[in-house]
Structure 1
């Protein structure tokens, strides 16, 4: 009996769910249509009921049970129909959205909001709004008094507007956990106001021309919950001490990229207290000198470290042997001078991404860049997780043997270009199933091109600027439909281009500066995805195939310095409108 009594309730609940999920409420749809007068909400009027069911519009998400709008994604919605004209939003149009959780109006040339006449109406109706993105508009400080009345806000993005001076309304924004006021003209009063946001976890102050870094850091130290601090694109001056970072006990990410750190050495040597730091990114920040004795050694929880494009001249700190959590390490374009086999890199067994390109690392290729060295008694470490590896433009020398990838068995990206490698390219590279991109260019490799590389799962292959030679002959079953980019230029390859018959998905093909002979193969016309084709500086002869005109995507074609003859195909001629006789 009890079960039978429950059935009507279950049926009613089911009907309510089905009806609710069919579309948003009428007052919300009316408000959205009113917004459409100034924004493109991308509803599909040709999809039956979609015009009436605003929950199916691309810009709208709804609660599947109640049908109430929860998310409005209106970024860059105005430009395509209304151009660059600044406009003002009637905030009363937002009042029907009482379950709205996030609103994205970024990059819409919005000049401000016209608030409702009743001061507290907006905050009472939008009591569930947690995320508001107004970045990339033309807002001034008048918007702040309106937004400060919405206590439910947790994430507020105001970057790239016309805000000036003290941006924080006293007593407002008290529950914010995430704030982005980048690319605005803030002042010291704003920094003082930020330190009162006791719940703040993520703070973005990029491109705000910060100076006097010590004062700023000391003020922000009051934010005991801060986890992310981004200070990119600033000119940071002044002095800073270890004590200034003492209160940042929960900081996990510090981002300083593209800042001019006139106090750079002071900052690096002051990071010791940041023992919770997991990401440190300081690319292009004028770092220089020796970092071996800096307090980076205390950051044992680091997972991502980017010191690329600086002037650092030193060996890698020995203490990095203890930083086994690092997954991403980018030291590109510095002046590190070290022997890789004896460096702390051998201990970073969690590495997934490694870029040490453009340094002076001594890398004996026959042992592998991360292998043990018998004389140094460094234990051998196998880097199973390392998928991205760029050690180009260093001092890597010798022959490439199987010992190299025995220590890095699962790479997807491998760049060994611009080194001093010599000897044959191992055919076993073609059996590395994880490999998608292989760059061996600008070395001293000799011998032939292993056919296994053209019959592998590679997407991109470059062996340009070597001393490779001989014919490239594929077997009948060889086929790599996945190869999209192939660079063979500046070698000594000869024979015909018939091997291209299996590579019909190529987008870029460069075989220039070789000794290829014979006629241009008509099969090139089957490579319908070609965008760049360079066959110059070879010994090709015969006619230019008319079939080349079938390559609709082709943007660059170079057939120069060959022995081609005959008339040019008609598609070589440009069509130029003749001037009118009266002109």
Structure 2
């Protein structure tokens, strides 16, 4: 369609202005058929544009892009709009895309957009994904979230400049919600406990790091998580949360759990079994011994960070029996005894940090085998002897 071709030409010209050598510029001008342009998807039935996938086209450009969103609104059948990593500094006519009745996914992540979010972005009837993460969006989130559609599945506002008080109760009726990210909005205050509410959703990925979580209700772990049975990823880092070691979360979260930089206390549980692949409990006040049977408790563990706590005793031999382990950080604790030989023999590790403990004996076994190792930090311990020659194969 002539109108769509003209709009696409104006969009690409605004994007590549001053960069005629850009590969995208060459390709877009070489093909008269816009549906053959890289990043443009058209309907096979009527050739109207249904998807724009412009990823990192201007990532190395010194000039910021300020796209006119009214040009995108002329693509009447557009279902997906992805402008990720294009050095966007701001948007002209941002509310214009609310005219796109079929838009299902809007992804403006990894830019430098300094805007307030138009309220209509939240209640576009067909919208399933709204990803504004890693920008400089500002303003109060409550009005946006309060008007968001029953249909939304993915909301990610992480790494922005949003502010204000956000009660989770305004999300209660979003029955299709699968992914929610509010992390690293330093001026937000997120509250899950007051007022009392009951979620209609089963979320899979919940990212609530460094957003002043539950500071009005005692800095506890959100209670609604006990009824979330599909959680794959949970990040509650850097919120000054308090309480005992939250053993029950190991049963509710299946893949990635981060409790880093809080004020939790207690000992690592001995009796549980979890499918977690990544566990970060660093920078808390946990103490006692690490469990003897790590290989039974966390058999799928890929990454383990327990640094900056008060763990004592030996490193369990069973840590070396974890078949998928690639990253271990036990630094800044009170651990003693030798480094388990199994941790350095036929090892899959690429990162090992045991610094600032009271470990002793030889630093590594003579017959060590760590071919993937990139980082080895052992300083401030009580090791003696020499590094074995096998380390040269790392």
The answer as to whether partners of 2:361 and 2:383 remain within 8 angstroms in 1 is yes
Matched, 1:385 2:292: no
Pair 133,387 (structure 1): closer, same or farther in 2 beyond 3 Å: closer
Match of 1:73 among 26, 39, 53: 53
Instruction: Please tell me whether residue 412 in structure 1 is matched to residue 326 in structure 2.
Output: yes
Partner of 2:128: 177
The residue number in structure 1 matching 2:274 is: 349
The whole-number CA distance in structure 1 between the counterparts of 2:4 and 2:66 is: 24
Q: Where does residue 150 of structure 1 map in the other structure? A: 100
- The SS at the match of 1:421 is strand
- Corresponding position of 1:467: 382
- Correspondences of 1:334-373 after superposition (within 5 Å): 334-340=262-268, 343=269, 346-364=271-289, 369-371=290-292
Give the unaligned 5+ runs of structure 1.
1-24, 85-107, 117-121, 275-295, 373-378, 484-583
**How has the CA–CA distance of structure 1 residues 246 and 168 changed in structure 2, closer, same or farther, with 3 Å as cutoff?**
same
Question: Residue 200 of structure 2 aligns with which residue?
Answer: 248
Contact 1:336 1:360 in 2 (8 A): yes
The CA deviation at 1:329 is: 2.4
Alignment partner of 1:381: what SS? helix
Three-state SS of the structure 2 residue aligned to 1:168 is: helix
1:384 Cα offset (Å): 1.9
SS in 2 for 1:38: helix
Aligned counterparts of 1:78 and 1:401: Cα–Cα separation in 2:
49
Distance verdict in 2 for CA 1:131–1:238, change over 3 Å: closer
**1:201 partnered with 2:148:** no
Distance 1:77 1:245, change over 3 A: same
Structure 1 residues 350 and 480: CA distance shift in structure 2, 3 A: same
Query: In the alignment, is residue 211 of structure 1 matched against residue 164 of structure 2?
Result: yes
Distance of aligned partners of 1:82 and 1:395 in 2 relative to their CA distance in 1, 3 Å threshold = closer
Distance in 1 (CA, whole Å) between partners of 2:150 and 2:332 is 51
Displacement of 1:256 = 2.8
Q: How many residue pairs were aligned?
A: 377
Q: Could you give the per-residue CA deviations for residues 61-80 of structure 1, whole angstroms, max 9, x where no partner exists?
A: 67899998764433564686
Partner residue in 2 for 1:311:
240
Map 1:233-312 onto structure 2 (within 5 A).
Answer: 233=185, 235-236=187-188, 241=193, 244-261=196-213, 263-265=215-217, 268=220, 271-272=222-223, 274=224, 296-312=225-241
Q: Which residue of 2 aligns with 1:497?
A: none
Task: Say which SS state the counterpart of residue 153 (structure 1) adopts.
Answer: coil
Whole-angstrom distance in 1 between the partners of 2:355 and 2:230: 36
Q: Distance in 1 between matches of 2:288 and 2:52?
A: 53
Residues of 1 paired with 2:162 and 2:343: CA distance? Answer: 49
| Structure 1 residues 442 and 220, CA gap change in structure 2 (3 angstroms) | closer
Task: Report which stretch shifted further, 383-392 or 330-339.
Answer: 330-339
Query: Are the equivalent residues in 2 in contact too, given 1:310–1:334 (CA < 8 A)?
Result: yes
Contact (CA 8 Å) 1:353, 1:388: kept in 2 or not? yes
Post-superposition shift, 1:400? 4.3
The higher radius of gyration belongs to 1
Distance apart, 1:247 and its partner CA: 4.6
Rounded Cα–Cα distance in structure 2 between residues aligned with 1:240 and 1:352: 27
Give the drift of 1:386.
Answer: 1.0
Aligned in 2, Cα 1:351/1:253: closer, same or farther, shift over 3 Å?
closer
For 1:356 and 1:44, the matched residues in 2 are separated by 47
TM-score by length of 2: 0.73
Conserved 8 A contact 2:292-2:316: no
CA contact (8 A) 1:62 1:71 kept: yes
C-alpha displacement at 1:176, in angstroms?
A: 1.9
Q: Write the deviation string for residues 77-136 of structure 1: whole angstroms up to 9, x where unpaired.
A: 46867824xxxxxxxxxxxxxxxxxxxxxxx222553699xxxxx3xx632x11124684
Q: Which moved more, 1:303-312 or 1:385-394?
A: 303-312
Does 1:221 pair with 2:136?
no
Q: 1:248–1:110: structure 2 CA closer, same or farther, 3 Å change rule? A: same
Checking the alignment, whether the CA contact within 8 Å between 1:454 and 1:480 is kept in structure 2 is: no
